[in-house]
Structure 1
């Protein structure tokens, strides 16, 4: 197994540092994909994930761990169906909000007709929302149609979800497949954020650029702190990523490891999987997880979402991150996932 990559923060951007005065904090180490602790941990001092960083008497930044993962309908490096390995990767990483791509629901024998979105949500005790890309008629002997698309899993409540079908250019030769972007609103300890998950076309740059333009037109309508995750099928130097960065910040690039590859799992040579942020969100740490449970390797990042500092009436509101961790109670346990499907 390759050594897992640890991405250490470099200088914060001028914009984010103005918004968030984030001091170094320590977060629990993330085990390797097989569950063994590799001794790799985010920088600083801490005892919690998903808590709030505070200055005494104030309420400021909320910490959250985010993941993006193209799971190739749950098939591993040998093309064997192994959805449990996908669940183990998510669980070991302690991810709280997860964007998954290439998820099947009752699709076909390739995924054993399993509703993978619902299965993973139950297995991980998370809420979920599903965004449809493509639908096929029921297979012989089965009543439900086959669905394929993207999923957002969340340890925090999902308040709403909407799936946006992206324009599919009609090509005579090598036609492209229908893509979408799933938009959800998540309540992270009282702060509402927008989370977007997408999977862009893999064949043509023209199609990917068209999809990204539509995505940015949609995401621009939200004034909330926003996170865009997904398989963009585009490398960091591409026009597609440059376009995305007109509105979003690339977490890996800002932390100084923008060229770290995520695909393919056996001999990774390109980065096409991204966690992007917009608004008052600061990236503290990120890593590519070495796993063979898919043809992609997941990306995980620790983010801080700024919250207003309470001030006396008449005083201007400001945003700030504090210098230390105060343990925050974990989200209430769930008896089962709350599905939202569009």
Structure 2
């Protein structure tokens, strides 16, 4: 589109998908191509808005989900995933205009062949002439996002540069948070509340992880429940420890979670630098009394006399 408006209002639904459709080489290599393409010819009059409570899905497109040269608002109910398999830049969003991605929108697991798997934002250049710099506003990654690039199920924990450093004329240094040795590359980008006009190529991904595991020992009551699941936490990050185990049986006591079973009880771990094991210990009080001062009691049935009279 080169002008006009698209307005997905609250309560409405919109899906833009390439599922089941083939795509020609000419289409993929077309400079203006995106599943939703907003041209740069008249940016002031090319506006797209997906309201926060609209259900919008841009999924499974071989090209960039959004190629923006106008003004776009991506609401909290928008999903942008699995796009860009044949796109060179910005599999999720390729931005030359003004775009705002609301907190709550799902923007991950997109791919691009050269740089910016999820976001590529840069100044539009044509015939050696540069247009206005881009304006990008977006939020930190969401909870529960899982990356599809990894052999194991790794959580997405932040935004990472995916094309910041140019290696050759047609190649950039791409994110590789699962690489070993010199192959490892995960340079995290810190999101602010300010608009960004610098060139950015980003991927929702992860860096190095530390593992947090749990172990329960001692006299464990039958209703203590399952041991908390292990977690992966990004290095230098923080982690909220699982709640203590509980029981309905009053004779059992849980010690709380301690690192390697010693030291103080912890409820949060900050600035994690290595793998952590949290150990909790159950103890059981014995049923016997103490002190010798109490007297035993006996229950007597109602039909048994409680006093004796001598025979006369």
Considering the TM-score relative to the shorter chain, is it more than 0.5?
A: no
If the length of structure 1 is used for normalisation, what is the TM-score? 0.23
Instruction: Give 1 or 2: higher strand fraction.
Output: 2
Higher RCO (CA < 8 A, seq sep 6+)? 1
Instruction: Give 1 or 2: higher helix fraction.
Output: 1
Q: State which structure, 1 or 2, has the greater radius of gyration over its C-alpha atoms.
A: 2
